[in-house]
C-alpha cells in the first residue's frame, strides 16, 4: 500500500535534535507515512542516528549524498517520494502528534493541492512554546476553509511565510508542474513554495499550531545574506520567470511585487553596502520590475537606511507606517496594522 504522505527531512550535522524530530514524525496519529531522510554529508553522529531509526522502523528511508545544501537534499527527497502528499520538516524542528492527520483530513476533504498551517516557536533559551507571528498571516487569509487561489491573486503570496514546512502538498501537482527547490544556500525554498501556491487549483488552511520550529540558536541569517547577497534576488527572478512563462504573471503581479519588495528590502537591510553597492541594488530592483520603488527602499532618509536600523518609540512607529504606506501601499499597511493589533490583544 502506498503511503499517504512522504515526509522529507534534509539532515546536516543535526545530532543534537535529530532524535526528537524523528520521534515526533514517527509518532504521528496518521501512521501510513514514509519518512525520507536525506543526509547532506553530515560529519557528526547524524548518520548513525539515522541508521538506528531505519533499522527499527521500516517507514524510515535514508539517502546519503555529499554536502550540497538543503535545496538539493529536498529535491533528492522529492525524486524518491512515493506518497500522495508531501510534507517537509527541518531536522531541528518537531511536530505534535495530530499534525499530519489534521492537515491530511483538510486537504483530502476539500480536494486541495496545498494545505497551509501555522508553525509555533520553541524558544531554545526559555524552553517555552510561543505563537509564531509570521507563518500564517490572518489578515491576508480568506475566511473559507479552502479557496481558489486565482480569486485572491492580488494577495496570494502574503498569506503565509515562504517556508516549505508550513504546508502539505499534493505530489501529483508538484510533479506535473515541475516545481523544485533552487540549488542555493539561502532562499532556496521561495520558488517551491510560491509556485506551488500559484499553480494550485485549490488551497486549504488549518488554524492551530501543531508544528514547532526552534528559535534562539546560533545560526545568523545576516551573515548568510552577506555571504550570498544575490540568492534571494535569484529566487525572485526564477519565480517571476515561471509565472511569465505560464501566463500567470498578470494575475499574480500585484502579490509578486509585494513579495519582491518585502524580500528585497529585508535582504538589503542586512547586507552591508560594501558587499552589495547601491547601484547594484538599483539594478536588481529594475530586473524584478519594481525599480519604481528604489528611492524609498534604498534611501529611507531620517528613519532608516538599507543598511541601518529603524527608529524606536512613537517616532519610529510613525516612520514605519509612512514607509510601509509609501512602499507597499494602503492595503498592505492596514492589513499589517490589523494583524499587529490582534496579536497584541492575545
Smallest CA-to-CA distance from 119 within 159, 158, 160 is with 160
Output the pLDDT for position 335.
59
Q: pLDDT digits over 268-302, tens only?
A: 988 999 999 999 999 999 999 998 877 767 754 33
d(CA 27, CA 77): 21
Cα–Cα distance list, 143 to 32, 152, 198, 207, 241 (Å):
31, 12, 19, 11, 31
Q: Name the pTM for this structure.
A: 0.87
Smallest CA-to-CA distance from 227 within 183, 284, 186, 282 is with 186
Query: SS in 3 state form for 149-192?
Result: HHHHCCCHHHCECCCHHHEEEEHHHHHHHCCCCCCCCCCCCHHH
> In angstroms, how far is CA 250 from the centroid of its own chain?
23
> What structural domains does the chain harbor?
5-219 (3.90.550.10), 223-345 (no CATH)
Output the pLDDT for position 328.
54
Output the pLDDT for position 310.
43
| Beta carbons within 8 Å of 331's beta carbon, 6+ residues apart | 155
d(CA 205, CA 78): 23
Residues of the chain with pLDDT under 70: 127, 130-134, 209, 216-223, 296, 299-346
Amino acid at each position: 500500500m502506498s503511503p499517504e504522505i512522504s515526509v522529507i527531512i534534509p539532515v546536516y550535522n543535526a545530532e543534537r535534535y535529530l532524535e526528537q524530530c524523528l520521534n515526533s514524525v514517527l509518532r504521528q496519529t496518521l501512521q501510513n507515512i514514509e519518512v525520507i531522510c536525506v543526509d547532506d554529508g553530515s560529519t557528526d553522529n547524524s548518520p548513525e542516528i539515522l541508521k538506528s531509526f531505519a533499522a527499527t522502523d521500516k517507514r524510515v528511508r535514508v539517502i546519503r549524498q555529499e554536502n550540497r545544501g538543503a535545496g538539493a537534499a529536498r529535491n533528492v527527497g522529492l525524486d524518491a517520494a512515493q506518497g500522495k502528499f508531501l510534507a517537509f520538516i527541518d531536522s531541528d524542528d518537531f511536530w505534535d502528534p495530530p499534525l499530519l492527520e489534521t492537515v491530511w483530513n483538510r486537504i483530502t476533504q476539500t480536494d486541495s493541492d496545498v494545505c497551509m498551517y501555522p508553525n509555533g516557536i520553541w524558544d531554545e533559551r526559555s524552553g517555552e512554546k510561543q505563537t509564531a507571528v509570521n507563518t500564517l498571516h490572518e489578515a491576508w487569509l480568506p475566511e473559507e476553509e479552502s479557496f481558489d487561489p486565482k480569486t485572491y491573486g492580488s494577495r496570494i503570496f502574503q498569506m503565509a511565510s515562504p517556508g516549505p514546512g508550513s504546508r502539505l502538498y499534493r505530489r501529483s501537482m508538484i510533479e506535473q508542474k515541475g516545481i523544485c527547490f533552487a540549488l542555493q544556500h539561502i532562499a532556496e525554498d521561495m520558488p517551491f513554495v510560491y509556485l506551488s501556491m500559484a499553480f494550485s487549483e485549490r488551497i486549504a488552511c488549518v488554524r492551530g499550531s501543531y508544528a514547532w520550529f526552534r528559535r534562539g540558536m546560533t545560526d545568523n541569517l545576516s551573515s548568510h545574506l552577506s555571504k550570498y547577497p544575490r540568492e534571494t534576488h535569484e529566487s525572485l527572478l526564477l519565480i517571476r520567470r515561471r509565472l511569465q512563462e505560464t501566463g500567470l504573471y498578470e494575475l499574480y503581479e500585484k502579490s509578486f511585487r509585494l513579495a519582491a519588495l518585502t524580500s528585497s528590502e529585508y535582504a538589503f537591510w542586512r547586507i552591508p553596502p560594501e558587499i552589495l553597492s547601491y547601484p547594484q541594488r538599483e539594478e536588481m530592483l529594475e530586473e524584478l520590475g519594481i525599480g519604481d520603488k528604489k528611492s524609498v527602499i534604498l534611501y529611507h532618509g531620517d528613519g532608516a537606511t538599507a543598511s541601518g536600523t529603524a527608529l524606536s518609540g512613537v517616532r519610529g512607529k510613525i516612520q514605519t507606517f509612512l514607509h510601509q504606506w509609501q512602499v507597499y501601499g494602503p492595503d498592505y499597511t492596514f492589513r499589517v496594522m490589523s494583524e499587529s493589533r490582534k496579536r497584541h490583544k492575545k
